[in-house]
Structure 1
Amino acid sequence: MSAIRREIISQIQVHHQNVLPILGVASSDDHPLSIVTPFAVNGNAFEYLTKMELNRRAGAMLHIVSVPLEHLHGLMPPIIHGDLHARNIVVDDRGNGLLCDFGLSRIKHEKTRTATNIVEGGKYRYQAPELLQLQDDFCFRTTTSSDCYAFGMTILELVTLERPFAEYQNERAASNAAERGIQPKMPSPEAVGILSKQTFDMLWGLLKKMWAYEASKRPSMSRVLISIVEILGCLGGTPSPRHPNLPQQGQYGFHLHCS
């Protein structure tokens, strides 16, 4: 019950057009407390992007989460999503991507949780190395840096339509690789639907920075956004003159129906 209350509090604090809003709460005998949200008719982002043409996928996915995630990290105190992956992004009837399910979100200064809780609540393949490492019976708490790592894995998932560390079938093997600082294998440019080698190299370079073993070496989401705008420029777009570092709604996949 306390976990759901924390989730409700976290989401109610957020007002952003690309964060799934909470309409209310409900209870029943089977479910003492449930969150009520708008229904996303297009399912999650992974399901939605499988229906798109391969060469359109790159622009559609690049900042589907980066703008609202940057917003969360910019709040005072920052809100950490903590459970970021493609299935925690839903798509509404207009093709807008909405960040949802703050199942592990935490206000940054909250107390550290136990290792068991973080493993059960999250996904090994998206978790930063520090979240997988046990030290004196506790593990690191989620941070903006661990969100950055997970977002990098989410980008990889959406452009390849495969789970991160697809070369590892076993979950424990995948987590062991991440814990040791091993990064996913680079897919071919054809596999991610980005035609330009320059664009592909820019994207992969960004992902490698987001997957840095040391959390302090990962970029902020503001810096990630700037890099994404540069990558989108290579795809033929121009950043908004009003907010040169931030895509506007309807551009390059912030609204998923991009050109």
Structure 2
Amino acid sequence: MTAPLVLGLDIGGTSVRAAVARDGALLERRDAASGPDLAETVVELAHALAEGRDIAGIGVGVPEYVDGGRVTSTEVIPWDDGIVAALERIAPVAIEADVRCAAAAEWAAFREPLLYVSWGTGLSSTLVLGDGTAWAGARGRALALGERRVDGVTLESIASGRGIERAHGTGATARELAARDDAADLFRRAGELVAAAVRDAALLLDPARVVIGGGLGTADSPARRTLEELWDLSIPLTTAAHGADSGLVGAALVALRG
């Protein structure tokens, strides 16, 4: 029997990525910039991909706290519950935190308990149990690795892509800065801080492996190289099997929960 077609939507602070998928494989995709018209952008992408297709479900990953399928924060994107109502005119909708979407995709690749770390514009993590369940916590907030305090500020504010951009202060993106000598110390410091945080989490949770995803986590940069150099645990440290697409693949995988 042919698996149903679904839509995956990965909403980020800088872009919205959407894809038609079947059984975890992305068949067609479209991207657009995030912005104040986020709801309109998301719905337009979904309709464009759904046109002429029988869509069985829509999975949406968001960079916010999600509790029981409900978005409970607006720290990164201007979330509007009207997005769900609009998408439900196409198919049933399942909402999940983007890091848990990505973790679901990576569990499907490795099929073992893992700690997934999303290291990009922001910084978050999630534990996936042996049966593929991402541990959400009592209030849907078991993903806040970036809230770890370092010298009175959050880890995310100084070790994420956005934190590096802010510290450099030139308006250049983290991707642009990764190749610049005048930003190398910022990337190395970010790598040191993330290595310490992930090491502590891995010692506490004892996963079969640690999977690093996100733009910074999968790119060849001084930050990622520093993390690898400092990793001294026997727990394998692995780059996300789906690369930067983990969140999009995972959103498609959770689509049928709606």
Same-fold status (TM-score > 0.5): no
* Alignment TM-score, normalising by the size of structure 1: 0.25
Q: Structure 2 length as normaliser, TM-score?
A: 0.25
Greater share of residues in strand: 2
